[in-house]
Amino acid sequence: MMDNVSVISMFTLSGFSGTFSHRVTLFLLTLLCYCVIWLVNLTIVVTIIIDKNLHEPMYIFLCNLCINGLYGTAGFYPKFLHDLLSTTYLISVPGCFLQGFMVHSSVCAELSLLALMAYDRYVAICRPLLYHSMMNTKRVGVYVFFAWITPFFLLFISTGTTVTSKFCGSHIPKIYCINLLISKLACSASIAQVVFPAFNYTFYVGHAVFIFWTYVFLIKSCKASKENRSKFMQTCLPHLLALMIFAGSVLLDLLYVRFGSKELSENVQNLMSMEFLVIPPIINPLIYGFRLTHLRKRIAHFLCRTALVCRLKD
């Protein structure tokens, strides 16, 4: 039996059975969505990188948030687009682990970056005299480094607990791979497969609690000052909206994976599992682009200048 188990080299993503009759339409809509994600996120990233006036902590964190959006969706959309035009829906075991790693690490990195953005707004509004010393270039660089390296390290360890397992099944009831469903296919579970994911969940729930506490404190602090209320509405409200959209999307998927009902149609299940890979990567750049006046003006200036250069070349 174990000899047969060890030869499993491909998993089947069994969440695609309900998409066959509409796959061309879904392919075109998904391709359009992915192009929009690249357009809006890349516009923010390029604008912030090119314009030295935007080399401030708030915009640096935003730039990394958009880069993370591109990174996370790159782990899902190319494979999903390929599967929509396929009939086998297979993914190699290493490819499945890589996809799960990219999706999970992107979610964790986004939480870390949102926590940094909340902390940045707390210092800017509640400790304005200390802002430039507490959020100097060196510290911001260290913060961003750990916001990226920590989820990569934790997910690498967590994934490593399953990667050497022997598998007794090959069907993943989803349209993409996640570590929880991969580990369920293992013939036997080790303590490490329980401990490390539990630690990761706890660690990033701690991030969510920190963000919630920070915004509660900010709201209370801003009530007493008209100037602080203006700052909150201008710079904190986009962060809060982005957090709510992201948290709602991820929570919906997590709750379904853990407690979901099989009575739901497969299309509804797929929509629930895709939401955090569709809505936040598109909405986040639009929220910041419209709400942050300085950034909005820079984007408009950048686009106008690009259009002018193209006309002159013609």
CA distance 153 to 150: 5
Q: What is the pLDDT of residue 153?
A: 95
Average pLDDT on 175-199 reads 83
- The predicted-structure confidence for 145-165, as pLDDT tens digits, reads as follows 999 999 999 999 988 888 878
- CATH code of residue 248: 1.20.1070.10
Compute CA distances 288 → 47, 247, 284, whole Å: 13, 17, 6
Cβ atoms of 238 and 288 within 8 Å: the answer is yes
Q: How far apart are CA 285 and CA 105, in angstroms?
A: 20
Residue 80 CB contacts under 8 Å (≥ 6 apart), including other chains = 30, 175, 176
Q: What confidence tier does 1 reach under pLDDT thresholds 50, 70, 90?
A: very low
What is the model's pLDDT at position 139? 94
3-state secondary structure the chain: CHHHHCCCCEEEEHHHHHHHHHHHHHHHHHHHHHHHHHHHHHHHHHHHHHCHHHCCHHHHHHHHHHHHHHHHHHCCHHHHHHHHCCCCCEEEHHHHHHHHHHHHHHHHHHHHHHHHHHHHHHHHHHCHHHHHHHCCHHHHHHHHHHHHHHHHHHHHHHHHHHHCCCECCCEECCCCCCHHHHHHCECCCCHHHHHHHHHHHHHHHHHHHHHHHHHHHHHHHHCCCHHHHHHHHHHHHHHHHHHHHHHHHHHHHHHHHHHCCCCCCHHHHHHHHHHHHHHHHHHHHHHHHHHCHHHHHHHHHHHHHHHHHHHHHC
2: pLDDT strictly greater than 50: no
Candidate from 76-85, 227-236, 285-294 with smallest mean pLDDT:
227-236
Order of strands across the sheet that contains 171-172? 90-92, 10-13, 171-172
Q: In the chain, how many domains are there?
A: 1
Residue type, position 301, single letter: H
Domain that holds residue 112: 2-313
What confidence tens digit (pLDDT) does each residue in 33-91 have?
999 999 999 989 998 998 888 889 989 999 999 999 999 999 999 999 998 888 788 89
Q: How confident is the model at residue 312 (pLDDT cuts 50, 70, 90)?
A: low
- Residue 260 — very low, low, confident or very high, per pLDDT cuts 50/70/90? low
